[in-house]
Amino acid sequence: MNEVYVPWPRFDRRAFLLLLDDQRRLLLCGACCRGWTVPQVRLDKGADYLGQATRYLTQRFGVRNPRFSALYGVHQSRREEPWDFDRVTASRVFIVRVTDAESSAVRHIASNHALWTMSQIRQRRREIYPEGVVLLITGYLEGWLPDGPLKLL
């Protein structure tokens, strides 16, 4: 039997956070090796996605009452087709509304954080990781995606 090797941990859970301010700008981090990314949280064993994301936003960025959108992305890879990492992953992509003051404070935490407008996001969409978040955020802002879970392929 040829079982695909999946390194420890055999199951990886992550939450990707799309922080949108009142001016409809998306917060991006530029320090990662893949270029521009959205903030992400690796979940502790047994932690729920929304709870861990809320704790991360409070502890890391000082966002006290994050407003999560009713639309969110869901992805579960299969062992033979890893989506993003070299192990089975279960991911959620949350859209979080923050105030302009909160986004400004977050941006000043580190010099590698930036706020991009929708036109910048569209022009530079291939630079943003993970791939596909641009479609999710533009669909949300333009109103053509329904509320609720959206399966990401």
H or E stretch at 69? strand 67-76
Its pTM stands at: 0.82
Alpha-helical runs (H) found in the chain: 49-61, 100-107, 118-123, 133-142
Tell me, what's the pLDDT at 1?
A: 41
Q: Give, as one character, the DSSP assignment of residue 93.
A: E
Higher pLDDT, 78 or 148: 148
What lies within 8 Å, CB to CB, of 133 at 6+ separation is 16, 18, 38, 73, 93
**CA-CA-CA-CA dihedral for 62, 64, 67, 73, to nearest 10:** 50
Q: SS3 for 6?
A: coil
- Tell me: pLDDT of 132 over 70: yes
